[in-house]
């Protein structure tokens, strides 16, 4: 599943109580993936005997790519502040969109941020650690970063092509395989 935005998304929280976008199997906000199987024992005639018996099962642990991410299309004015993302495929993907992101924490996902087709994005004071790609900017798009760290990617920390621009201000790319 993914969240599709063709308008404006505003998600603003505090540093001490962030908003989480994550897998249903992630128990960051409480136990959301347990299910309960309840039954009665029955006698030979099929009559219920005794009290109801309930077994609780855990559906499992979260995995990278459990959900698709947030996709912005022809969107303007979106603002995310103090938001954490976990276990997504493509966390934030912007196509022909404009957005401002502050204090994001992206981890345990495949790709962090993809900006393309004349999109303009500003990211500040954020931490991004994805398994494959960090920042991808292409097709006449602009990305401005201030105080952003991209760490631990196994593919590319930064990809820029087709007349696009990235500005780094007090931002870091560290511990990446293909920086």
Alpha-carbon dihedral of residues 83, 8, 74, 161, nearest 10 degrees? -30
Residues 144-169: what's their mean pLDDT?
95
What pLDDT score was predicted for residue 24?
A: 85
- pLDDT of 82 above 70: yes
Which tokens is 87 given?
């276990």
What pLDDT score was predicted for residue 93?
A: 98
DSSP 178: B
């Amino acid at each position: 599943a993914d969240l599709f935005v063709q308008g404006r998304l505003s998600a603003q929280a505090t540093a001490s109580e962030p908003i989480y976008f994550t897998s249903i199997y992630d128990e960051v906000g409480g136990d959301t993936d347990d299910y309960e199987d309840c039954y009665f024992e029955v006698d030979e005639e099929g009559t219920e005997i005794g009290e109801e018996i309930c077994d609780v099962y855990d559906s499992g642990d979260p995995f990278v790519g459990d959900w698709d991410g947030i996709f912005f299309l022809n969107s303007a004015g979106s603002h995310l502040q103090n938001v954490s993302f976990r276990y997504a495929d493509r966390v934030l993907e912007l196509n022909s969109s404009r957005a401002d992101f502050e204090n994001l924490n992206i981890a345990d996902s495949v790709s962090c941020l993809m900006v393309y087709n004349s999109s303009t994005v500003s990211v500040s004071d954020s931490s991004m650690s994805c398994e494959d790609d960090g920042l991808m900017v292409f097709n006449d798009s602009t990305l401005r970063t201030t105080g952003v760290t991209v760490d631990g990617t196994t593919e590319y920390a930064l990809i820029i092509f087709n007349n696009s621009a990235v500005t780094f201000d007090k931002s870091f790319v560290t511990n990446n395989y293909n920086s």
